[in-house]
Amino acid sequence: MPLIIAHRGASGYLPEHTLAAKKLAFEMGADFLEQDIVASRDDELLVLHDVHLDRVSDVALRFPDRHRGDGRFYARDFDLDEIRTLSAWERMNADGSPVYPDRYPAKSGDFGFNTLAEELALVQSLNAEHGRTVGVYPEIKRPAWHREQGVDIAPLLLNVLADFDYAATPDQVFVQCFDAAEVTRLRKELNCPYRLVQLVGYNSWSEATTDYDQLWSPEGIRALAETADAVGPHVTHLFELNNVDSMPVVSDLVGVVRDAGLLIHPFTFRADDLPPGFHSFEDLVEFFVDVVGVDGLFTDFPDRVRALLQE
Ligand code: CA
């Protein structure tokens, strides 16, 4: 049975990365809860998807003068105490319109931001209450950029995980990153005791200096298996549309990944944003579970994936 990784929590229903979205994902039957990790000015690890705050909060209203030259409001320019005063909102586009119009109402709700430590405390208390073990799946966001800003996230992350005794139960943690140099460093220099997931995007995303064209090739995948335990590719890396009827067919590289011994945890399964070639969420999940044979999947809708897996 593939692992259900709640992508930013049950983010199809509640604003991403709020503790409420994580609690809901737990209740919906997720196996792992995802945390994106960004640092505040006072070097606190926040659970936040972007290095910016402006697409998911009221920061521009509350602190109108605190943007940088590009007009963006960076979490790194605010202390945790200031970030705690913000409202966490459903994700917006640059013009303030909702990214997903059918999700939680825009610019509303009584939600805030939290630290990684606060989320880990929540997960462990839910595990104890419910007698279930749901794991955690932190992503180090833009490690090279953070170092330029004077903070090194990876060692801080490993310290917080150790504070919560995860080193004693390393199977409850996957650590993920888009930056291949950081994944190698985690394994070889920082002796990360957890399973490592190399995320695979596209070079056009500018997430890292990693060359994803090289990485997502037979040679790249085989080399990756020396440091990583799993790959986290975008769903579109795993299939092609055939020329005749545009039906999805499994990419040849899936076999290379399997032969290299890597787990496959693709992102992101969204009922309200299907990739090309798929006409329903059910078809999408069925193809990836039954035909591709993924080991886990990142989804904004953990309840719907759980229901499909139980069928
Ligand atoms: Ca992520």
Instruction: Determine the distance separating the centroid of ligand 1 and the alpha carbon of 244, expressed in angstroms.
Output: 35
Q: Evaluate if residue 132 carries a pLDDT over 90.
A: yes
Instruction: Determine the distance separating the centroid of ligand 1 and the alpha carbon of 65, expressed in angstroms.
Output: 29
pLDDT (tens digit per residue) in 79-129: 999 999 999 999 999 999 999 999 999 999 999 999 999 999 999 999 999
Instruction: Determine the distance separating the centroid of ligand 1 and the alpha carbon of 205, expressed in angstroms.
Output: 14
Name residue, tokens 């586009």: 93
* High-pLDDT (> 70) share of the chain, %: 100
Instruction: Determine the distance separating the centroid of ligand 1 and the alpha carbon of 137, expressed in angstroms.
Output: 9
CB contact at 8 A, 96 and 61: no
Sorting pLDDT into bands at 50, 70 and 90, what band is 233?
very high
Average pLDDT, the chain: 98
- The helix or strand, by DSSP H or E, that contains position 206, with its residue range, turns out to be none
Is-above-0.85 flag for pTM?
A: yes
Q: What angle do CA 188, 193, 197 make, to 5 degrees?
A: 75
Backbone torsion region of residue 121, taken as left when φ is above 0, otherwise alpha when ψ lies between -120 and 50, otherwise beta: alpha
Establish whether 49 is a catalytic residue. Answer: yes
Instruction: Determine the distance separating the centroid of ligand 1 and the alpha carbon of 124, expressed in angstroms.
Output: 21
Using the 8-state DSSP alphabet, how is residue 275 labeled?
P
How far apart are alpha carbons 243 and 230 in whole angstroms?
A: 30
pLDDT at 304: 98
Phi then psi dihedrals of residue 193, to 5 deg: -85, 0
Q: Evaluate if residue 245 carries a pLDDT over 90.
A: no
Using the 8-state DSSP alphabet, how is residue 1 labeled?
-
Taking alpha carbons only, the member of 254, 178, 261, 177 closest to residue 218 is 254
Establish whether 67 is a catalytic residue. Answer: no
Name residue, tokens 């009221």: 58
Burial class of 275 by CB neighbour count within 10 A (0 to 12, 13 to 18, 19+): middle
How far apart are alpha carbons 19 and 17 in whole angstroms?
A: 6
CB contact at 8 A, 4 and 268: no
Sorting pLDDT into bands at 50, 70 and 90, what band is 171?
very high
Structure tokens given for 264: 């496959």
Instruction: Determine the distance separating the centroid of ligand 1 and the alpha carbon of 35, expressed in angstroms.
Output: 7
Burial class of 37 by CB neighbour count within 10 A (0 to 12, 13 to 18, 19+): buried
Structure tokens given for 148: 């330029």
pLDDT (tens digit per residue) in 31-81: 999 999 999 999 999 999 999 999 999 999 999 999 999 999 999 999 999
Sequence-ordered list of residues with C-beta below 8 angstroms from that of 211, at least 6 positions apart, any chain: 203
Phi then psi dihedrals of residue 199, to 5 deg: -75, 145
Instruction: Determine the distance separating the centroid of ligand 1 and the alpha carbon of 36, expressed in angstroms.
Output: 5
Q: Are strands 45-47 and 174-177 parallel, antiparallel or unpaired?
A: unpaired
Sorting pLDDT into bands at 50, 70 and 90, what band is 138?
very high
Instruction: Determine the distance separating the centroid of ligand 1 and the alpha carbon of 8, expressed in angstroms.
Output: 7
Q: Evaluate if residue 243 carries a pLDDT over 90.
A: no
Which is catalytic among the residues 17, 49, 52, 265? 49
CB contact at 8 A, 304 and 271: yes
* Helices 116-130 and 153-163, axial angle in degrees (round to 10): 30
pLDDT at 244: 85
pLDDT (tens digit per residue) in 260-300: 999 999 999 999 999 999 999 999 999 999 999 999 999 99
Sorting pLDDT into bands at 50, 70 and 90, what band is 246?
confident
Instruction: Determine the distance separating the centroid of ligand 1 and the alpha carbon of 298, expressed in angstroms.
Output: 9
How far apart are alpha carbons 304 and 172 in whole angstroms?
A: 23
**Omega before 169 within 30 of 0, i.e. cis:** no
- Cα separations in angstroms, 72 against 50, 52, 92, 283: 11, 7, 13, 38
How far apart are alpha carbons 160 and 37 in whole angstroms?
A: 12
Instruction: Determine the distance separating the centroid of ligand 1 and the alpha carbon of 132, expressed in angstroms.
Output: 23
Instruction: Determine the distance separating the centroid of ligand 1 and the alpha carbon of 259, expressed in angstroms.
Output: 26
- The helix or strand, by DSSP H or E, that contains position 307, with its residue range, turns out to be helix 302-310
